Amino acid sequence: MTDTVSITSRAASRIKDIVAAEPGATALRVAVEGGGCSGFQYDFKLDSQRADDDLVIERDGATVLIDSVSLVYMGGSEIDFVDDLIGQSFKVNNPQATMSCGCGTSFSI
């Protein structure tokens, strides 16, 4: 599986807006943690510090950081932003995920 992770233009636009509204924040950090209905879940938080082993993704003025451990579970993924009837959220389209919960916030490999 490739280590490449991409972000859509919709996600980049929303990240840029969120970061601009939060003093001190420079990027959105995406991590994979144990838990959730299906075994793993995504964690999204604002950050201002880059670690040496972070994958840094930049698009249209937005920055996403992913640590090397999370990258193992996210390789080949696309981060998108959706706005639908159930609300607004970031969505990770992960080709490694074999199963996910109904709300799409947790997954298994």
Domains in the chain, CATH or no CATH each: 6-97 (2.60.300.12)
Q: Which pLDDT value is given to residue 20?
A: 95
CA 35, 55, 64, 5 torsion: positive or negative?
negative
pLDDT tens profile 33-74: 887 665 788 899 999 999 999 999 999 999 999 999 999 989
Instruction: Enter the pTM of the model.
Output: 0.85
Spatial distance between the Cα atoms of 16 and 82, rounded to a whole number of angstroms? 15
pLDDT tens profile 1-40: 456 899 999 999 999 999 999 999 999 999 998 876 657 8
